[in-house]
Amino acid sequence: MAQRTPPAPSDLAAVKHRLGRVGVWFISASAASAEVERPAVVAIEQFGYSAFWFGENPSSKEAFTHAAALLSWTEHMQVASGIANIWGRDASAAANGAATLADTWGNRFVLGLGVSHAPLVDTRGHDYGKPLAVMRSYLEAMDTVPFALPLAEAPPRLIAALRPKMLELSKTHAQGAHTYFTTPEHTRRARDILGDEPVLAVEQAVVLDTDEGSARAAAREYADRYLKLPNYQNHLRELGFTDDDLKGSDALVDAVVAWGDPDAIAERVRAHHDAGADHVCVQTIAPTIEQQTEHLRELAPALTG
């Protein structure tokens, strides 16, 4: 049996090249029927985005079977889990699931892994424990799992990380980090911790709307769910936001959600790249999957050119 191991550092440049500069984080993917999701994904690839990120939660599509569907519907776009919850499967299932996708679709799958949040883990009947220690043990267990088939390249894995210790783990036990609900200033700090070589893939939520009132209302509604979670609260406090900001201040909402016309949104994406991001996955905030897809079409000339 071939022993599965993480890619060597020399492979990181290839991972960055395949991910490309700008991808899509599609909030509706994990809850949409295949009939609705498939045409949206096909269109997004045609718009020129280089990667498609999707989420997972206890009531959504399962991450690995979902990834297989996405890979089968597309031709060249990278497909990345953002994130596959480590509490949803043991380390052996995660390692061999990722390897199976790599065997079938070559180097098009990126395994994003995360410890999720205590309320979501509790619903699965698990003890959340100490996230850093749990993640380290999980990654080390993955590295011991054999796989029956030889792989030209082990699938890269990126760790959902925001705070310094988890970012350090992303550097030493994975190929890099996937950050979410954050700012260019955090991207700069994350790059300083990771160093030059590890991959840094940053999610950026956007509202394609130039009206300050309606744009901020949409951004605030999106942000509200995250501002209730301790992991994000602690992360934002480290960036200097106050408890009053965590109630949904304009300053915080504007910092984590870009809004305006395509040029304004492209400027925020550039700010992440300038701060050290290798890849930015844009998440369009809109009521329906069709509107989200249409906004990605409108943004594509400013973002993918």
pLDDT, tens only, 41-54: 999 999 999 999 99
The predicted pLDDT at position 119 comes to 56
Crossing angle (nearest 10°) for helices 289-303 and 262-275:
70
Taking the C-alpha atoms of 203, 175, 95 and 76 in order, what is their torsion angle to the nearest 10 degrees? Answer: 60
Q: What is the pTM of this model?
A: 0.94
CA 299, chain centre distance (Å): 19
By three-state DSSP, how is residue 192 classified?
Answer: helix
Q: And the tokens for 184?
A: 């260019």
Spatial contact of 40 and 289, defined as CB atoms under 8 Å apart:
yes
Spatial contact of 184 and 268, defined as CB atoms under 8 Å apart:
yes
CATH of the domain at 99: 3.20.20.30
pLDDT in tens, 136-185: 999 999 998 888 888 877 899 999 999 999 999 999 999 999 999 999 99
pLDDT in tens, 223-269: 999 999 999 999 999 999 999 999 999 999 999 999 999 999 999 99
Q: And the tokens for 155?
A: 């699938």
By three-state DSSP, how is residue 148 classified?
Answer: coil
Amino acid, single-letter form, for residue 226: Y
Q: How many domains does the structure of the chain reveal?
A: 1
Q: And the tokens for 108?
A: 């098009």
Q: What is the mean pLDDT of residues 74-80?
A: 98
Of 123-137, 254-268, 277-291, which range is least confident? 123-137
What is the Cα–Cα distance from 108 to 118, expressed in whole angstroms?
31
CA 164, chain centre distance (Å): 18
Q: What are phi and psi of 18, to 5 degrees?
A: -70, -40
What is the Cα–Cα distance from 236 to 301, expressed in whole angstroms?
32
What is the Cα–Cα distance from 147 to 144, expressed in whole angstroms?
10
Long-range contacts of 249-254 (CB under 8 A, 24+ apart): 250/216, 252/223, 252/227, 253/216, 253/219, 253/220, 253/223, 254/216, 254/219
pLDDT band at 5 (very low <50, low <70, confident <90, very high): very low
List the domain range (segments joined by +) for residue 242.
2-303
pLDDT in tens, 83-106: 999 999 999 999 999 999 999 999
The predicted pLDDT at position 127 comes to 64
Partners of 200 in the β-ladder = 177
Look at residue 210 and tell me whether its pLDDT is greater than 70.
Answer: yes
Give residues with Cβ within 8 angstroms of 29, minimum separation 6. Answer: 37, 40, 41, 52, 54, 55, 61, 66, 70
Q: And the tokens for 239?
A: 């960036």
Residue 43, class by beta-carbon neighbours within 10 Å (0-12 exposed, 13-18 middle, 19+ buried)? middle
**What single DSSP character describes residue 28?**
T
